[in-house]
């Protein structure tokens, strides 16, 4: 039996297991399901404005070419630090959007190769960093926290450290 076949059977087995436990404990499965669906829809309505605002902000940054202008402005500093400027779009977009940063990483793979210096840095950055701004806006907004205090600073600082360490490690090992 291969993993694809095992994967095809896994979800029905889990559902049957849950139904079996509900029958054993004499829980009204349909009522619990309907209550959970109501909570899910309610949560969706709470999260939607935060998600919409974040998507609007990301598109505004990307479509206005502000990101490109930022890279061009600071490219002398990055070249002085021996930091590859081809990685800058990934470094800038990764804290905001996982899908956009994944597309940038695929573009780096296509242009420079997966096993290239830039490809390896991109892979390490994509795997080691998180979508900090997305996580903070979505999760904090969905539970109604208005003051994010130090969460944004700490998250972006961790992303920055990860960016620097990614370049240093790939430079050291490859």
Other C-beta atoms within 10 Å of 78: how many?
A: 15
For residue 97, how far is the Cα from the chain centroid?
A: 6
For the chain, report the end-to-end CA distance as a whole number of angstroms. Answer: 39
Determine the pLDDT at residue 112: 93
34-88 tens-digit pLDDT = 999 999 898 888 878 877 877 787 678 767 878 778 778 877 887 777 788 888 8
Distance CA 134, CA 47 (A): 12
pLDDT digits (tens, 9 = 90+) for 95-151: 888 888 888 899 899 999 999 999 999 999 999 988 888 888 888 877 878 788 788
Question: Average pLDDT of 5-30?
Answer: 89
């Amino acid at each position: 039996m291969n993993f694809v076949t095992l994967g095809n059977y896994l979800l029905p087995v889990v559902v049957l297991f849950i139904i079996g436990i509900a029958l054993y404990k004499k829980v009204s499965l349909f009522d619990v399901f309907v209550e959970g669906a109501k909570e899910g829809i309610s949560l969706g309505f709470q999260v939607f404005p935060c998600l919409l605002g974040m998507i609007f902000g990301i598109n505004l940054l990307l479509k206005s070419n502000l990101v490109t202008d930022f890279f061009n402005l600071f490219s002398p500093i990055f070249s002085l630090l021996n930091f590859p400027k081809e990685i800058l779009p990934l470094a800038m977009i990764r804290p905001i959007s996982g899908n956009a940063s994944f597309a940038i990483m695929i573009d780096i793979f296509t242009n420079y190769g997966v096993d290239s210096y830039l490809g390896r840095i991109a892979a390490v950055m994509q795997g080691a960093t998180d979508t900090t701004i997305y996580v903070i806006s979505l999760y904090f907004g969905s539970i109604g926290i208005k003051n994010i205090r130090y969460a944004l600073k700490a998250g972006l600082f961790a992303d920055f450290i990860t960016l620097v360490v990614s370049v240093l490690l790939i430079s050291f090992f490859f």
